Structures are given as C-alpha cells and as structure tokens.
Amino acid sequence: MGRSGGHIALLQRVADMQGGQDGWVSTGQGVDARTAGPAVRLGLLSEASAEELAELAARAGRPALWAVRLTADGWDVLQYAHRRSSPPAVAPPEPGLQKVALHRSELDVLKRFIALGESLRCVPEEGLDAAVEAARFDPPSNRWIVYVDGPQMKSMARAYFLERHSGSAAPANRFARIYGVS
C-alpha cells in the first residue's frame, strides 16, 4: 500500500459507506477482501469476526460473509491525509509587504543572520525574525514565501552580502537580480 493515494481512496470509500464509527462495510459495496487486505494487514481496517458477521446478518436479514470497518489508526490516517493534502490557511499579507520567494539555502542564510542578531554591527531589521519564522513552503514553486517591507528587504540584502563574502555569492546574486536590492 505504501505512499500511493490508493489506500487513502480505499479508506475514504470505507468511511463514506461506513456511516459512523460503529458501521460496517460488506462485500458488494465497492470493497472486497482482496482490495481491503493490505489495509487490514496494516491495521487501518478491521475485519468482522464471526460473531459480528452473525449480528450483521440478523440486522440486514441476509447472510453477511465478510465486512470491514476503519480502525482508530485508519480514521487518523484518513484525517492526516486530508490535512496534509490541503494547504495551510495563510492570512493575506498586510498592505505594504512584498512577497519574496526563497530557496531553502537562502532561508537558512537569513536564519543564521538573525541568530547573530545583536552581535553584528548592522543588526537585522526589526520584524525580519518574525517574517522568517512565518515563512511558508509553496510546493508548486518549490520556494519558501516570506512577506517583508522595504527596510526588511535591505536587511535581507545585508545577510546575503555577508554570505557572499564568507561563503556563496549565489544568494546575493539571485536576490539582487530578482528583487533589485543589493
């Protein structure tokens, strides 16, 4: 079952047909022992015992040969998968803030710069630490998004200046090329 969306789709189908946490899903409703087997082995679904099958048959008025329902782990995996697939809610930026898209290494440079803080002669601009802390990853662009104002942009340029002279020039060059601040 691994990381494919197949087992999440199966868990969702079982959850939809199960009704509540105490419901059961039987063969013939789009789920069978073969498709549910991997999820049962992983502990995400549980198969009905003979006793439970007899009770289900009595309620339904027909034989119940097999039934399955989500376990607590199955419910949790399903909830986690839904949360993981939906992007976190991000408040819109305040007016006057500029969106800056950073590579992970560029964000790391800013974190080092902020960590040095008061030990530097030119300290990081106020609020830059909060902006970096609030950075959110944007999967489509593969970048970390930070919202900063003008003085914070200059402070970021200062961090990349320091990185240029003690490590790599790439962050400073990219920042100057894209945002026009050096």
Q: Answer whether residue 93 is part of any domain.
A: no
Question: Do 52 and 102 share a structural domain?
Answer: no
Is 54 in the same domain as 106?
no
> Does residue 11 sit in the same domain as residue 74?
yes
> Which residue range(s) make up the domain with 16?
6-85
Q: Are residues 78 and 102 in the same domain?
A: no
Its pTM surpasses 0.95:
no
Say what the pLDDT of residue 62 is: 87
Q: Say if residue 64 is in the same domain as residue 126.
A: no
Number of domains in the chain: 2
CB 179 within 8 Å of CB 100 = yes
Give the domain-ending residue among 85, 112, 136. Answer: 85
Q: Within a domain: residue 92? A: no
Dist. CA 69–CA 20, nearest whole Å:
10
Lowest mean pLDDT among 54-58, 122-126, 174-178: 54-58
**Residue 3, phi then psi, degrees to nearest 5:** -95, 5
* pLDDT on residue 21: 58
Specify the length of the chain in residues: 182
How far, in Å, CA of 50 to CA of 74, rounded?
A: 22
**Do residue 79 and residue 104 come from a single domain?**
no
Per DSSP, 96 falls in state: T
User: What is Dmax (Cα atoms) for the chain?
Assistant: 82
